[in-house]
Amino acid sequence: MPHVIVKLWPGKTEEQKALLAEKITRDVMDVLLYGEESVSVAMEEVEPGSWAEDVYQPDIVNAPGKLYKKPGYEM
pLDDT, residue 57, reads 98
Q: How far apart are CA 46 and CA 70, in angstroms?
A: 18
The dihedral through the CA atoms of 60, 61, 67, 68 has a sign that is positive
| 60, 67 contact by CB (below 8 A) | yes
Residue 69 phi/psi, 5-degree rounding, is: -140, 110
pTM: 0.92
Rounded mean pLDDT, 8-17: 99
Average pLDDT, the chain: 98
2 labelled catalytic: yes
Domains and CATH numbers, the chain: 3-61 (3.30.429.10)
List pLDDT tens digits, range 25-58. 999 999 999 999 999 999 999 999 999 999 999 9
Q: What contacts 49, CB < 8 A, 6 or more positions away?
A: none
Q: Which of 2, 10, 58, 71 is catalytic?
A: 2
